[in-house]
Chains A and B, each alone.
Chain A
């Protein structure tokens, strides 16, 4: 028994993806839920499965259910950091298949930009790291970058190339927060925050809310003519704190993506668009290697010459993703939304022609947890 193709995303919405005005994180979640349901042609009364994660609320599903005034019969607050929602797609599909719920909503909201400087992370820090002054998470990614450079000769210019490419994709949207082109020199001159990473090697800090609605594949066909099917789902994890990361240049992304692709019955070369967590330029490079888009250690060369920019060999992060579009602390939900846009053919100027198959990959914390989803316009590979 597999969940392959048994459920589909029939509603999706995102809002206030730069700065909010007078809304709380749960308020953003609630608005996103309502809009995603409207997009699906459903109402709050239909929702009986609720999935969310948050760095604001210790019991986020309870907070959201109370706010919405609903009484779901299946709840999930799987906390894997920024990839939680990608994992929850699989959890929702399994719950629907098992009859635990019929209409599952996966939601997220954050006011990280509005809270700038005031945000206190809920995550406990390690006594092996905190007394030494590590900035979570960027200090850890500085260490990852330094090791990748020492081991493979990766350069700051190569890392900067990705930031430039992400900005080019963002320029093809109507919502790019920084609607001007970026150069490698600008990245390199933006100031080192934690060596070797510069300010523009880091994701944006934004607010944002987003939600998707999943139902069974059977019901999806009655709701809309372009449901987005979940063909494959995979998860993997191997550490919590960066001081316990076995190899700073290699992650469990390889395993979560293999699981998802195997379940989907497709191979990487069939993927039309890829949506890969880019909290930092270096995290994107490491993930591209582990996902298999290039060989280990060759991420630097892979991003050169605009290979990941519009028109390059891989349609990656087609809205600019975390580096150039939106990053409210947990990016996973927004990677899903962009994949749905592409597969529905709703991506406007950035539309990848005939996109039929998308890979969504997220990480949580410092390359610690991984979740991969394969989304498709068809219920069969």
Chain B
């Protein structure tokens, strides 16, 4: 039996803009020109004021863990070798929340509120995924 292949994703519209920027190792969100709210995921209409002027901004990539779970089972055979792996919701410093994996951290060491930073994982020539890793104490100071 051949090794399982990565389940494909087909980002469209605003999603494609986000994944195209990830390939450039840029984590982006939007700021509404009308009401100044930070917006994520990318949209065509602001969810706060319904304005259509949303400017792309680059996030610093730092934030804190809002919540997490360590999955002992994989969602797809492709991820089976990775279990247990940790999924995180991260509140970026800019005020938006993003979903990704946490790496370089044993599941038992993860905690809500933990400071993390973004890393860009070029998993395929055409696909870069977002990961987060803990920010070490030295790096914070």
Residues in B lying within 8 Å of A, measured CB to CB? 6-7, 9-11, 15, 19, 41, 66-76, 79, 82, 84-85, 87, 89, 97-101, 107, 111-113, 127, 129
Binds B, one of A78-86, A136-144, A205-213: A136-144
- Of A133, A136, A242, the most chain B CB neighbours within 10 A belong to A133
Closest-CB distance, A153 to chain B (whole angstroms): 12
Whether B67 pairs with A147 at a CB distance below 8 angstroms is yes
Quick check: is A131 within 8 A (CB to CB) of the other chain?
A: yes
Whether A133 pairs with B72 at a CB distance below 8 angstroms is no
Whether B41 pairs with A194 at a CB distance below 8 angstroms is no
Q: A127-B9, A243-B99 are in contact. Are A135 and B75 (CB under 8 A)?
A: yes
Chain B residue nearest in CB terms to A151 = B112
Cα-based distance from A147 to B67 in the complex (angstroms): 5
Question: Looking at the complex, which one of B11, B98, B101 makes contact with A127 (CB distance below 8 Å)?
Answer: B11
Closest-CB distance, B17 to chain A (whole angstroms): 12
21 contacts between A and B (CB under 8 A): A127-B9, A127-B10, A128-B15, A130-B9, A131-B127, A131-B129, A133-B71, A133-B75, A134-B71, A134-B75, A134-B87, A139-B71, A145-B69, A147-B112, A150-B67, A150-B111, A193-B72, A194-B71, A195-B84, A195-B107, A242-B99
Whether A133 pairs with B82 at a CB distance below 8 angstroms is yes
Whether B73 pairs with A135 at a CB distance below 8 angstroms is yes
Q: How many residues of A contact B (CB 8 A)?
A: 30
A window 74-116: CB within 8 A of B: none
Query: Binding site of B, secondary structure by majority: helix, strand, loop or mixed?
Result: mixed
Chain B residue nearest in CB terms to A148 = B67
Q: A127-B10, A128-B41, A131-B129 are in contact. Are A136 and B72 (CB under 8 A)?
A: no
7 further interface pairs, Cβ-Cβ under 8 Å (given A139-B87, A195-B70): A131-B6, A135-B73, A139-B75, A142-B69, A147-B67, A193-B73, A195-B71
Cα-based distance from A191 to B79 in the complex (angstroms): 19
Whether B76 pairs with A133 at a CB distance below 8 angstroms is yes
Neighbouring B residues of A197 by C-beta, 8 Å = 69
Whether A146 pairs with B10 at a CB distance below 8 angstroms is no
Neighbouring A residues of B87 by C-beta, 8 Å = 132-134, 139, 142-143
Cα-based distance from A144 to B71 in the complex (angstroms): 13
**A307-340 to B contact mask, C-beta < 8 Å, 1/0:** 0000000000000000000000000000000000
Residues in A lying within 8 Å of B, measured CB to CB? 127-136, 139, 142-147, 150-151, 191-197, 242-244, 248
Neighbouring A residues of B67 by C-beta, 8 Å = 143-144, 146-147, 150, 248
Question: Looking at the complex, which one of B9, B69, B101 makes contact with A195 (CB distance below 8 Å)?
Answer: B69
Cα-based distance from A127 to B69 in the complex (angstroms): 18
Whether A194 pairs with B9 at a CB distance below 8 angstroms is no
Whether A135 pairs with B112 at a CB distance below 8 angstroms is no
Cα-based distance from A243 to B97 in the complex (angstroms): 8
Chain B residue nearest in CB terms to A246 = B97
Cα-based distance from A155 to B18 in the complex (angstroms): 37
The 9 A-B pairs at the shortest CB distance, nearest first, are namely A142-B69, A150-B112, A243-B99, A147-B67, A133-B79, A195-B70, A135-B75, A143-B67, A194-B71
Whether A133 pairs with B85 at a CB distance below 8 angstroms is yes
Chain B residue nearest in CB terms to A130 = B9
Whether A129 pairs with B82 at a CB distance below 8 angstroms is no
Question: Looking at the complex, which one of B7, B11, B72 makes contact with A192 (CB distance below 8 Å)?
Answer: B72
Neighbouring B residues of A196 by C-beta, 8 Å = 69
Cα-based distance from A151 to B113 in the complex (angstroms): 11
Neighbouring A residues of B99 by C-beta, 8 Å = 128-129, 132, 134, 242-243
Neighbouring B residues of A130 by C-beta, 8 Å = 7, 9, 75
Cα-based distance from A248 to B41 in the complex (angstroms): 17
Neighbouring A residues of B69 by C-beta, 8 Å = 139, 142-143, 145-146, 194-197
Q: A130-B7, A194-B69 are in contact. Are A136 and B75 (CB under 8 A)?
A: yes
Whether A194 pairs with B72 at a CB distance below 8 angstroms is yes
Question: Looking at the complex, which one of A127, A129, A135, A145 makes contact with B71 (CB distance below 8 Å)?
Answer: A135
Cα-based distance from A136 to B97 in the complex (angstroms): 19
Neighbouring A residues of B111 by C-beta, 8 Å = 150
Closest-CB distance, A169 to chain B (whole angstroms): 28
Whether B75 pairs with A143 at a CB distance below 8 angstroms is no
Whether A146 pairs with B72 at a CB distance below 8 angstroms is no
Whether B100 pairs with A132 at a CB distance below 8 angstroms is yes
Cα-based distance from A134 to B69 in the complex (angstroms): 9
Whether A194 pairs with B129 at a CB distance below 8 angstroms is no
Cα-based distance from A131 to B130 in the complex (angstroms): 10
Whether B15 pairs with A127 at a CB distance below 8 angstroms is yes
